[in-house]
């Protein structure tokens, strides 16, 4: 396997080729497109499985291409990479199936699936990026590829959402770029290394270290929806449900959070971040975002908007984990990358199902849907409870490690934040569950449709699969193959090396 340095490139190119093929196949050839999409997603899963085995055994893969003198495009696969790629690959397959059902009769499907694959290609690039520059390249590509999806409906509202998305992300990427240029001007290109080494390379110049960190963090923070830069996420929920799934779980916010993780652990090193006094600030920012997002979610009447604000809140758990010193909190943050993805994608799948089948988009239109759509509602309930942090669902595991890690690091105030977040989560999810299960259904639904049996199944099965995964990720967290088991492996390598 060591003879295959280009394997990470293959990971990126697979989706890229799918995107091109889908564009070329055109709008009319639906069967070809579906086959292409599913075959590529399955092939990617196989590739990821192959890599998982190899990396678990201690191998790494690296591919390098010089772009300019002193500026390389580096793709590599390490354990952290695989955490993200596995999540994305699995969710890509499920989201593709869901989207096939969801977009059964709507126009512009070639465009949709093409850009969708392009997004995944960019995500794979972000996951495999071996240095900050490569990360930036794919990070921007992701911005670009996502925009057509956000505005897919072509309505005024979706363009407003797209505009907001671009304003935020491009502003953030300007700051990112400034930080990157600053870094390169001082020390040249730096590959990601477990434990980070910037502090050694740039020793002495603490002001520059802090400044670069803030700029880079701003760039990542936009996609991760950290507090002052979060505004786009709730507006982008005008996009179709599969796109929301993509934004919230498969790719975009995950890319930002993943970037923060890379920045903290593989560029600076957790100890360096703490020594510079940046950890406290990042933790405070993440905590503020967690609480603010939850508070805003309370008053949203639109289900998807509530879910979007919930994402603002939940994704900051990852940043919080990165901001607190010590392996326990790191485990909590990293594992939440997966757990939040599994849970939030389920919720968006379900929200899409409600909206498609019944026309129920607002929360007050969900009265009694538990009787009409019991399986969807079950999936929704399980994951909403997981978001609140009810054991044995996945969300509890994240919260547990974050909380205990914070206490172990002497930052007990974080427990207060987590508890408050739990309460707020309960406050905005439980009323929804109450309506779903306890209210009598109305005489007529807002806009019921009857999609074909296959389309219905294509939408329902992914939702059930991810809900089950969210449950099992928590219930079987003790297994080595669980997200938690893998994250423990990563953390052992980060802190051991």
Which residues within the stretch 155-214 sit at the binding site for other proteins (CB under 8 A)?
A: 155, 159, 162-163, 166, 170-171, 174, 177-178, 181-182, 184-185
Separation CA 53–CA 59 (nearest Å): 9
User: Could you say which of 140, 271, 302, 367 contacts other proteins (CB under 8 A)?
Assistant: 140
Site stretch for other proteins (CB under 8 A), options 93-101, 200-208, 266-274, 423-431: 423-431
Separation CA 152–CA 112 (nearest Å): 7
Q: Based on CB atoms, which residue is closest to other proteins, 39 or 157?
A: 157
User: Could you say which of 111, 210, 435, 493 contacts other proteins (CB under 8 A)?
Assistant: 111
Least Å from the CB of residue 487 to other proteins:
13
What is the bridge-based pairing of β-strands 71-77 and 61-68? antiparallel
The CA radius of gyration of the chain, in Å to the nearest whole number, is 21
Q: DSSP class of residue 451?
A: -
**Coil/strand/helix, residue 64:** strand
Look up residue 489 and give its two tokens: 């492996």
Least Å from the CB of residue 42 to other proteins:
27
Least Å from the CB of residue 272 to other proteins:
23
Separation CA 314–CA 81 (nearest Å): 21
Reduced DSSP (H G I as helix, E B as strand, rest coil) percent helix, strand, coil of the chain, to 5? 75, 5, 20
Q: Does residue 495 interact with other proteins by CB under 8 A? A: no
Q: Based on CB atoms, which residue is closest to other proteins, 377 or 459?
A: 377
If you search the block for the tokens 């089948």, which residue do you land on? 357
Q: Based on CB atoms, which residue is closest to other proteins, 18 or 98?
A: 18
DSSP state string for 381-405: HHHHHHHHT-TTSHHHHHHHHHHHH
User: Could you say which of 103, 151, 251, 319 contacts other proteins (CB under 8 A)?
Assistant: 151
Q: Which of residues 473-492 bind other proteins (CB under 8 A)?
A: 474-479
Q: Which of 249, 254, 318 is nearest to 287 (CA)?
A: 318
Q: Does residue 426 interact with other proteins by CB under 8 A? A: yes
Q: Does residue 137 interact with other proteins by CB under 8 A? A: yes
Least Å from the CB of residue 304 to other proteins:
16
Q: Which of residues 28-87 bind other proteins (CB under 8 A)?
A: 65-69, 71
Least Å from the CB of residue 25 to other proteins:
12
Q: DSSP class of residue 105?
A: T
Q: Based on CB atoms, which residue is closest to other proteins, 59 or 302?
A: 302
Look up residue 62 and give its two tokens: 């690296």
Separation CA 165–CA 147 (nearest Å): 8
Taken as a whole, the chain contains a residue count of 497
Least Å from the CB of residue 365 to other proteins:
19
Q: Based on CB atoms, which residue is closest to other proteins, 199 or 403?
A: 403
Site stretch for other proteins (CB under 8 A), options 32-40, 145-153, 282-290, 352-360: 145-153
| Residue 298-327 contact track with other proteins, rule CB under 8 A, x = bound | xx----------------------------
If you search the block for the tokens 């995500």, which residue do you land on? 123
Size of the site for other proteins (CB under 8 A): 74
Least Å from the CB of residue 473 to other proteins:
10
Least Å from the CB of residue 76 to other proteins:
18
Q: Determine how many CB atoms are found less than 10 A away from the CB of residue 227.
A: 19
Q: Which helix (H) or strand (E) holds 221?
A: helix 206-223
Q: Which of residues 348-387 bind other proteins (CB under 8 A)?
A: 385
If you search the block for the tokens 């830069």, which residue do you land on? 229
Q: Which residues pair with 66 in a beta bridge?
A: 72
Look up residue 412 and give its two tokens: 């007990």
Half-sphere exposure of 288 (CA within 13 A, CB side): 12
Q: Which of residues 395-414 bind other proteins (CB under 8 A)?
A: 396-397, 399-400, 403-408, 412
Q: Based on CB atoms, which residue is closest to other proteins, 61 or 165?
A: 165
Least Å from the CB of residue 300 to other proteins:
9
Contact call for residues 318 and 395 (beta carbons, < 8 A): no
Q: Based on CB atoms, which residue is closest to other proteins, 91 or 313?
A: 313
Separation CA 399–CA 483 (nearest Å): 14
Q: Which of residues 220-279 bind other proteins (CB under 8 A)?
A: none
Least Å from the CB of residue 445 to other proteins:
21
Q: Which of 470, 355, 378 is nearest to 433 (CA)?
A: 378
Least Å from the CB of residue 159 to other proteins:
5
CA distances from 397 to 264, 403, 484 (A): 22, 10, 8
Q: Based on CB atoms, which residue is closest to other proteins, 144 or 284?
A: 144
């Amino acid at each position: 396997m060591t003879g295959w340095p280009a394997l990470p490139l293959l990971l990126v190119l697979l989706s890229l080729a799918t995107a091109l093929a889908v564009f070329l196949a055109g709008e009319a050839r639906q069967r070809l497109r579906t086959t292409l999409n599913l075959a590529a997603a399955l092939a990617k899963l196989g590739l990821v499985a192959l890599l998982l085995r190899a990396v678990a055994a201690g191998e790494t893969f690296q591919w390098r291409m010089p772009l300019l003198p002193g500026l390389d495009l580096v793709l590599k696969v390490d354990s952290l990479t695989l955490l993200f790629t596995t999540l994305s690959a699995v969710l890509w397959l499920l989201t593709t199936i869901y989207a096939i059902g969801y977009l059964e009769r709507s126009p512009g499907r070639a465009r949709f699936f093409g850009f969708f694959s392009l997004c995944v290609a960019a995500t794979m690039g972000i996951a495999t990026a071996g240095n900050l520059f490569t990360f930036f390249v794919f990070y921007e590509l992701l911005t670009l590829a996502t925009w057509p999806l956000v505005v897919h409906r072509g309505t005024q509202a979706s363009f407003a959402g797209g505009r907001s998305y671009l304003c935020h992300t491009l502003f953030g990427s300007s700051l990112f770029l400034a930080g990157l240029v600053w870094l390169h001007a001082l020390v040249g290109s730096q590959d990601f290394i477990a434990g980070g080494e910037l502090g050694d390379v740039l020793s002495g110049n603490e002001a520059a270290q802090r400044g670069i960190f803030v700029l880079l963090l701003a760039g990542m923070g936009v996609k991760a929806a950290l507090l002052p830069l979060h505004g786009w996420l709730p507006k982008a929920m005008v996009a179709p449900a599969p796109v929301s799934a993509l934004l919230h779980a498969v790719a975009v916010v995950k890319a930002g959070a993943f970037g923060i993780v890379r920045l903290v652990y593989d560029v600076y090193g957790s100890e360096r971040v703490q020594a510079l006094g940046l950890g406290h600030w990042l933790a405070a920012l993440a905590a503020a975002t967690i609480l603010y997002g939850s508070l805003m979610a309370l008053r949203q009447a639109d289900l998807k908007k509530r879910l979007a604000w919930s994402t603002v809140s939940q994704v900051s758990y990852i940043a919080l984990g990165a901001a607190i010193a010590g392996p326990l909190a790191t485990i909590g943050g990293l594992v939440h990358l997966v757990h939040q993805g599994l849970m939030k994608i389920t919720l968006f799948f379900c929200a899409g199902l409600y909206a498609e089948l019944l026309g129920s988009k607002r929360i007050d239109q969900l009265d009694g849907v538990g009787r009409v759509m019991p399986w969807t509602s079950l999936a929704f309930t399980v994951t909403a409870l997981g978001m609140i942090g009810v054991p044995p669902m996945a969300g509890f595991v994240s919260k547990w490690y974050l909380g205990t890690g914070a206490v172990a690091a002497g930052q007990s105030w974080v427990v207060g934040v987590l508890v408050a977040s739990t309460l707020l989560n309960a406050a905005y999810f439980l009323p929804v569950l109450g309506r779903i299960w306890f209210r009598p259904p109305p005489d007529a639904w807002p806009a019921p449709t009857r999609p074909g049996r296959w389309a219905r199944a294509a939408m329902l099965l992914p939702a059930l699969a991810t809900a089950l995964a969210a449950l099992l990720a928590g219930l079987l967290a003790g297994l080595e193959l669980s997200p938690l088991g893998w994250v423990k492996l990563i953390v052992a390598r980060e802190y051991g090396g």
